[in-house]
């Protein structure tokens, strides 16, 4: 049974009998991890630009990509990185409330 109490179809003999191969996933090499992180960061930031500051373009240094890439783990994959991107909205909101980010005044 799964977490919702439903019967797991993969425990049934007819489902197990159809599995003929397993796909093994290997950890990302660091260079590829940085590339994937940069792409994912761009996709995470695009809706924030559109919603919070349509006339601004967010930019970051390679250190930011390293910061997020450091969350990668071979067992968890990219999930911790993508989860960390979820906090970007809260960071922008806190910066705006503290007066450090004002999308209405891009020159500030």
Q: What pTM, to 2 d.p., does this model score?
A: 0.63
The tens digit of pLDDT for each residue in 6-48 reads 776 666 666 666 767 777 778 889 999 999 999 999 998 888 8
DSSP string, 28-93: PPHHHHHHHHHHHHHHHHHHHHHHH-TT------HHHHHHHHTT-BTTTBTHHHHHHHTTHHHHHH
Task: Kindly give, in sequence order, each residue whose CB lies less than 8 Å from that of residue 101, ignoring residues fewer than 6 positions away.
Answer: 92, 95
Both ends of the chain: CA-CA distance in Å? 56
């Amino acid at each position: 049974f799964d977490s919702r109490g439903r019967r797991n179809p993969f425990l049934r003999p007819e489902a197990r009998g159809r599995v003929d191969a397993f796909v093994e996933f290997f950890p990302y090499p660091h260079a590829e991890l940085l590339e994937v992180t940069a792409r994912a960061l761009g996709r995470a930031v695009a809706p924030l630009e559109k919603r919070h500051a349509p006339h601004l373009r967010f930019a970051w240094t390679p250190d930011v990509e390293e910061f997020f890439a450091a969350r990668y783990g071979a067992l968890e994959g990219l999930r911790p990185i993508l989860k960390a991107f979820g906090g970007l909205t809260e960071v922008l909101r806190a910066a705006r409330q503290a007066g450090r980010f004002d999308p209405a005044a891009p020159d500030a």
